[in-house]
Amino acid sequence: MRTRAYFLFELVAWPAAAWCAVELLLRVATGATAGMGDTGLTGVCAALTIVAVRWRSRQLALATASERPS
């Protein structure tokens, strides 16, 4: 169950990270820099969520593997 929940968090974080990257590029290209901080912060949070989810999923996989009988 927990592995699926982490997968869902990552599934939501990827589009958020991509959207923020595209939005930042468009803001720089058009010169509309108002709001770049908020977009950047949201993008960083999405990227950190992806990293944390992958790290935690790997920990759970290792813990599950070590609990299996040899």
Per-residue pLDDT of the chain (70 residues; tens, 9 = 90+): 677 888 899 999 999 999 999 999 999 999 999 999 999 999 999 999 999 999 999 988 888 777 776 5
Measured CA distances, 46 to 7, 27, 65 (Å): 14, 19, 29
Q: What does the pLDDT read at residue 28? A: 95
Nearest C-alpha neighbor of 24 from the set 14, 34, 15: 34
pTM for the model: 0.82
